[in-house]
Amino acid sequence: MSEISERGKIGAPLLQVEDISLAFGGVVALQGVSFDVREHEVRAIIGPNGAGKSSMLNVINGVYHPQRGTVAFKGRRRRRVDPHEAARQGIARTFQNIALFRGMSVLDNLMTGRNLKMRCNVLQQALYLGPARREELEHREKVEAVIDFLEIQHIRKTPVGRLPYGLQKRVELGRALAAEPELLLLDEPMAGMNLEEKQDMSRFILDVNDQMGTTIVLIEHDMSVVMDLSDRVVVLDYGRKIADGTPDEVRGNKAVIDAYLGVAH
Amino acid sequence: MQFFFEVLIGGLLAGVMYSLVALGFVLIYKASGVFNFAQGAMVFFAALTTVGFMSMGAPFWLAVGLALAAMAALAVFTERVVLRPLVNQPQITLFMATIGLTYFIEGIAQLAWGAQVHALDLGVADEPIGWLMDHTGMNISKFDLVASGIAATLVAVLALFFNKTRTGRALRAVADDHQAALAVGISLQRIWVIVWMTAGFVALVTGLLWGARNGVQFALTFLALKALPVLVLGGFDSIAGAIVGGLIIGASEKLAEVYIGPLVGGGIESWFPYVLALGFLLVRPEGLFGERRIDRV
Amino acid sequence: MLYRETGQFKTAYAADQQLFPIRQDRIGIAVFLVVAFLGVPLAALTPGLAGAIDFNYWFNGVLIPFLIFSLAALGLNILTGYAGQLSLGTAAFMAVGAFAAYNFELRVPGMPMLLSFVLAGAAAAVIGIVFGLPSLRIKGFYLAVATLAAQFFVVWALTKFAWFSNYSSSGVITAQKMVVFGYAFDTPVKRYLLVLGIVCLMALAAKNMVRSAVGRAWMAVRDMDVAAEVVGVPIMKTKLLAFAISSFYCGVAGALYAFAYLGTVEPAGFELDLSFRILFMIIIGGVGSILGSFLGAAFIVLLPIFMDLSATSIERSFGLALPSGLVSNLTLILFGALIVFFLVVEPLGLARLWQIGKEKLRLWPFPH
């Protein structure tokens, strides 16, 4: 369990979600949700199935555009963001159902995570010798650091389509990390994993937060993971925020308990 | 004004023919999710087989029956050799397989019956309808009218088949959801054979009508391409869309040729339907009747 | 034991990023290049051999078209194989290249030949971008409609507007002689060397692009464009770049097709069936593979020749006279069957079979 005082390094709000409402045709996904995420913290979003957690992440990095409300990242307040723009500003994410590039190797997937940072134009790349080659090697080093961190050296040339599920999830995390993001959005990073894999993944997430200082927003169903990893928790139910606080505060909250037990409200 | 109507109706009637080709596509796409590029080749094969048997002395209806049998055999063959081995592959792979199938069918057809153009006479002449010409001065071909009538009957028969029979219901189930259809005990393989046979039957009718109009020749295989703009407009999985799309393409193609053509030197029929379809796609990517796809992330 | 990598360690990323990291591969490609650039022309010029083998036929009928089609297949592979944008308009882009090169040579006095080719490619690239714009809204088969529109429109425009063919009555153009820096490339050997040089350079450039950021961007868009966007890949720029570069390659291939291969071309020679032929080359050769483009082109160029040779030898040995359409129809049947065969058995084409072969060779003589 981590307390704000132990960390001591949690800073000012990095992300501010304000009054977000999102609907698809007649289906309401989010209603008037507001919360903030402070720099260097690990924020969990939890809630029963269908509560709108993934939709919330999708709004934050611009995959969905809300009908109302704004998202402010690093002080810039916007309603509509391009996913590409969000990436450029320093937001990276993983997906619930792995979104890796199946035709490419692990190394290439991670290198693609750094494409944004590469400056050489096509002609230089076609020539390869000179600036393009230097750039490739430079970024290769950075990517190898991520590969070392996630202990996936042995599969770096394997096409990701051939990897087992747990490793694919790790590679997806690697691709997000390769971008050196300021804000990392993780959508159920431990879904479908066994105990060992979960322990590994938890360690990686904690290390990312500790060593790299990356702010993390995390959707997770496993309550013990949430309690252990997160600094603060947001609880959603039927698209509304029903609780917001430290893990302990949220755990004892009656509305939260009701939501999970399915009490009509 | 009267000339305009003449062109319009001529175009609509030509469009009916396009609809027929598109119909074959839609049938197969609805049931198996495969875009059957070989539909044009099937039209060619069906027509050529009929004409071939007739040139060997068989009476018309026997030749048609034999051609129908050949199409059925082709359907079984296709299901065993192409569809079954590729059952879980992405759409693009199946599409390319049907391109291969196209060349295969063309080769066999020409090998069996030769590559020269055959004439086909269905007993209805391609001349203006007498009393219409006399009363209104409009030149509308008898043949076109009869062809549309046949096409309309075919659509009605198919609609009845789909909606009123047990097999038809199974076909609709498969078109909706393969897994669910399997779960209730519908044999996908059997359904696919039936669908391809039906498409083969449609191809036969199409082939006979087109062949009677333009002669049975290799160029029939490229009908497949004319159907593409029709499908874009009407959606790949809608029978109604194939009809409406065909009419629109047929009419607009003729009207464009007559009214815009002279401005740029003519011959714009070759690309106009595609550019029209392209423009349409930019506005409505799933066609008039197609289902809107919502990608879940 | 020939192909062992044992002992070949990479101690720097630079060594790992090489085009041919395995020493045996480096030797192999060096030998291949020496044979291609030196061996073949020398053999053609040796008096003894030149009598026995009809080198002109091999240059004009096999090697030069193989190289040119490989280039076009490369172009299509970049667009369809790497970037995942289906294109049925390859021949149209080739036509633009051919006619553009002709017109540049014709109308600009003193225009260097190589510059004509580059500009021809650029013209094709522009057309490619225009017809690639729909790819920003449309995906998959529907995109085939856009490229079909390009195919039919371009051929129509080149036929209709006689300016393109310098008002020749039939639309036929006769390509000028290729003179580079005052040196005329007019014999089969010389044309072969020029085409070989150009194709090798462009293949190298393609390989470089494909393993750099732009190649990864293409493959990302092909595999999952939503994820690509999230990772920061600019979808629009990436797709249009694919169209532009692919069309450039096809344009240069088209120019070479007119200048180094056929000599005279007309719009009708760039019809849809040529587009399909090139599509078959990348299906059989291997989509998303540079080597595959070459293997597929070789296959498609050699197959009809093989069929013809078999037919003549059967006719000769059995004293038969085969019906005239037989060979061409059998070729069609064989084409179709092979495509289905490859898609079922090895969807990644000859290139994958080549890779598997190499892997087996690494273990040889051990079974596993």
The 3-state secondary structure of chain A reads CCCHHHHCCCCCEEEEEEEEEEEECCEEEEEEEEEEEECCCEEEEECCCCCCHHHHHHHHCCCCCCCEEEEEECCEEECCCCHHHHHHHCEEECCCCCCCCCCCEHHHHHHHCCHHHCCCCHHHHHHCCCHHHHHHHHHHHHHHHHHHHHCCHHHCCCEHHHCCHHHHHHHHHHHHHHCCCCEEEEECCCCCCCHHHHHHHHHHHHHHHHHCCCEEEEECCCHHHHHHHCCEEEEEECCEEEEEECHHHHHCCHHHHHHHHCCCC
Give the CA distances from residue B279 to residues B232, B272, C55, C145, C328, in Å, rounded to whole numbers and listed in that order.
10, 11, 50, 10, 38
Distance CA C119, CA C98 (A): 11
| Min distance A64 CA to chain C CA atoms (Å) | 11
Whether residue B79 contacts residue B193, with contact meaning beta carbons closer than 8 Å, is answered with yes
User: CA-based Rg of chain C, rounded to a whole angstrom?
Assistant: 22
Q: Which of B100, B106, B278 lies closest to C145 in CB terms?
A: B278
pTM beyond 0.80: the answer is yes
Contacts B285 to C, Cβ<8 Å: 137-138, 142
Name the residue of chain A whose CA is nearest to C214's CA.
Answer: A122
Residue C224 forms contact with B (CB below 8 Å): no
Does the beta-carbon distance from A115 to C230 stay under 8 Å?
Answer: no
How far, in Å, CA of B19 to CA of B11, rounded? 12
- Cβ distance of B102 and C141 shorter than 8 Å: no
Q: How far is B235 from chain A (nearest CA, A)?
A: 22
What's chain A's average pLDDT? 89
Neighbouring CB atoms inside 10 A of B76's CB total 14
Question: Which positions in chain C have a beta carbon within 8 angstroms of at least one beta carbon in chain A?
Answer: 13-14, 17, 205-206, 208-209, 212-214, 216-217, 219-220, 222-224, 226-235, 241, 245, 288
DSSP state for residue B216 in the 8-state scheme: B
- Count CB neighbours of B136 within 10 A: 13
- Residue A2 confidence (pLDDT): 43
Most confident of A90-104, B46-60, B81-95, B184-198: A90-104
Query: What does the alpha-carbon distance between residue B293 and residue B286 come to, in Å, rounded to a whole number?
Result: 8
What tokens appear for B139 in the block?
């030149």
Predicted pLDDT of residue C275: 94
Residue A5 has pLDDT above 70, yes or no: no
Find the DSSP H helices in chain B. Answer: 2-32, 39-55, 60-78, 91-113, 130-136, 142-164, 166-176, 178-183, 188-214, 223-234, 239-255, 261-264, 272-283
Check whether A100 has a pLDDT greater than 90: yes
Q: Which 3 state secondary structure label does DSSP give C183?
A: strand
Sequence-ordered list of residues with C-beta below 8 angstroms from that of C219, at least 6 positions apart, any chain: A101, A103, A104, A108, A112, C82, C83, C84, C288
Q: What is the distance of C-alpha C293 from the center of its chain?
A: 6
Whether residue A265 has pLDDT greater than 60: no
Which of B163, B164, B144, B173 shows the shortest CA–CA distance to B19? B144
Q: Which two three-digit tokens encode residue A179? A: 């971008």
Q: How many CB atoms lie within 10 A of CB C22?
A: 15
Torsion of CA C181, C182, C188, C194, to 10 degrees: 0
For residue B35, give every residue at least 6 positions away whose Cβ sits within 8 Å of its Cβ, in sequence order, or none.
B25, B28, B29, B91, B94, B95, B98, B236, C141
Distance from the A148 Cα atom to the nearest Cα atom in chain C, whole angstroms: 14
The total of other beta-carbon atoms located within 10 Å of residue A12's CB is 9
Residue B240, pLDDT > 60, answer: yes
Q: Do A175 and C231 touch (CB under 8 A)?
A: yes
Residue C330's closest CA among B112, B40, B36? Answer: B112
pLDDT above 90 (res B94):
no
Confidence at residue B123, expressed as pLDDT on a 0 to 100 scale: 67
Chain B contact for C235, CB < 8 A? no
Model confidence at A153, pLDDT cuts 50, 70, 90, reads very high
Select the residue from C82, C212, C219 to test the A interface by mutation, using most A Cβ atoms within 10 A: C212
Comparing CA positions, the residue from C353, C307, C347 lying closest to residue C327 is: C307
Return the pLDDT at B254.
85
Q: Do A178 and A50 touch, CB atoms closer than 8 A? A: no
Interface of B with A in 265-294 (CB under 8 A): 294
User: Is the pLDDT reported for residue B33 higher than 80?
Assistant: no
- As a whole number of angstroms, the distance between CA C260 and CA A48 comes to 68
Pairwise CB contact (< 8 Å): B271 & C134: no
- How far does the CA of residue C140 sit from the closest CA of chain A (Å)? 17
B92 — contact with chain A (CB < 8 Å)?
no
Which residues of chain A are within 8 Å of residue B297 when distances are taken between CB atoms?
Answer: 54, 58, 63, 95, 99
Task: Report d(CA A113, CA A198) in Å as an integer.
Answer: 24
Averaged pLDDT score across all residues of chain B: 81
To the nearest whole angstrom, how far is the Cα of B92 from the nearest Cα of chain A? 15
Interchain contact, A126 vs C208, CB within 8 Å: yes
Min mean pLDDT across A136-150, B33-47, B84-98 is at B84-98
Q: What is the predicted pLDDT for the residue at C352? A: 87
Closest CA to B77 of B93, B53, B101: B101
Q: Which of B60-74, B117-131, C18-32, C280-294 has the lowest mean pLDDT?
A: B117-131
Q: What average pLDDT score do residues B163-191 get?
A: 80
- Beta-strand ranges (E) seen in C100-175 are 173-174
**Chain C contact partners (≥3 CB pairs within 8 A):** A, B
The chain A residue lying nearest C224, using CA atoms, is A101
pLDDT above 70 covers a percentage of chain B that reads 90
CB contact under 8 A, A101 and C213: no
Contact across the interface for A112 and C214, Cβ inside 8 Å: no
Task: Tell me if C209 and A127 make a contact (CB, 8 A cut-off).
Answer: no
Residues in B closer than 8 angstroms to C159, CB to CB, are: 267
Find chains touching chain B: ≥3 CB pairs under 8 Å: A, C
B136: pLDDT strictly greater than 70: no
Q: Look at residues B22, B74, B50 and name the one whose alpha carbon lies nearest to residue B196.
A: B74
Nearest CA in chain A to C288: A103
At C251 the pLDDT is 96
Output the tens digit of pLDDT for each of chain C's 368 residues: 666 666 677 777 777 777 777 777 788 888 888 888 888 888 777 777 766 677 788 888 889 999 999 999 999 999 999 998 989 999 999 999 999 999 998 888 888 888 999 999 999 999 999 988 888 887 777 788 888 888 999 998 998 888 888 877 777 888 888 877 777 888 888 889 899 999 999 999 999 999 999 999 999 999 988 899 999 999 999 999 999 999 999 999 999 999 999 988 989 899 988 999 999 999 899 988 999 999 999 999 998 888 888 888 888 888 777 777 788 888 889 989 988 998 888 888 888 888 888 888 877 777 77
| Burial track B38-73 (b if 16+ CB lie within 10 A, e otherwise) | bbbbbbbbbbbbbbbbbeeebeeeebbebbbebbbe
Chain B residue closest in CA terms to C160: B265
**CB count in 10 Å sphere of residue C314:** 13
**Shortest CA distance from B283: residue in chain C:** C137
One-letter amino acid at B260 equals: I
Whether C314 contacts chain B with CB within 8 A: no
**pLDDT attached to residue A43:** 94
Burial class (CB in 10 A: 0-12, 13-18, 19+), C80: buried
Whether the CB of B264 is below 8 Å from some CB of chain A: the reply is: no
Provide the pLDDT confidence category of residue A143 given band limits of 50, 70 and 90: very high
Query: Quick one: which H or E segment has residue C37?
Result: none
**Torsion angle of the four alpha carbons B275, B278, B279, B283, in this order, in degrees rounded to the nearest 10:** 170
Say if residues A54 and A191 touch (Cβ distance below 8 Å).
Answer: no
Residue C245 pLDDT? 97
| Percent of all residues in chain A with a pLDDT value above 70, rounded to a whole number | 95
CB contact under 8 A, A99 and C13: no
Which residue's entry shows tokens 């709108």?
A: A52
Shortest CA distance from C345: residue in chain B = B85
- B96–C141 C-beta distance less than 8 A: no
Task: Among A42-46, A168-172, B16-20, C336-340, name the one with the lowest average pLDDT.
Answer: B16-20
Please check the confidence at residue A4 and state whether its pLDDT lies above 50: no
Where does the pLDDT of residue A207 fall: very low under 50, low under 70, confident under 90, or very high at 90 and above? very high
Q: Percentage of chain B with pLDDT > 90?
A: 3
**Interface B-C: count of C-beta contacts within 8 A:** 126
Do A127 and C205 touch, CB atoms closer than 8 A? yes
State the pLDDT at residue C50: 66
Across the interface, whether the CB atoms of B277 and C145 are under 8 A apart is answered yes
Q: Which residue of B has its CA nearest to C347?
A: B93
pLDDT attached to residue C7: 67
* Partner residue opposite B271 with nearest CB, options C153, C325, C336: C153
- Closest residue in A to C207 (Cα–Cα): A126
Task: Locate the chain C residue with the closest alpha carbon to A101.
Answer: C223
Q: What is the mean pLDDT of residues A54-68?
A: 91
C142 and B232 within 8 Å at the Cβ level: the answer is yes
Contacts of A141 in chain C (CB under 8 A): 13
DSSP helix/strand/coil, C350: helix
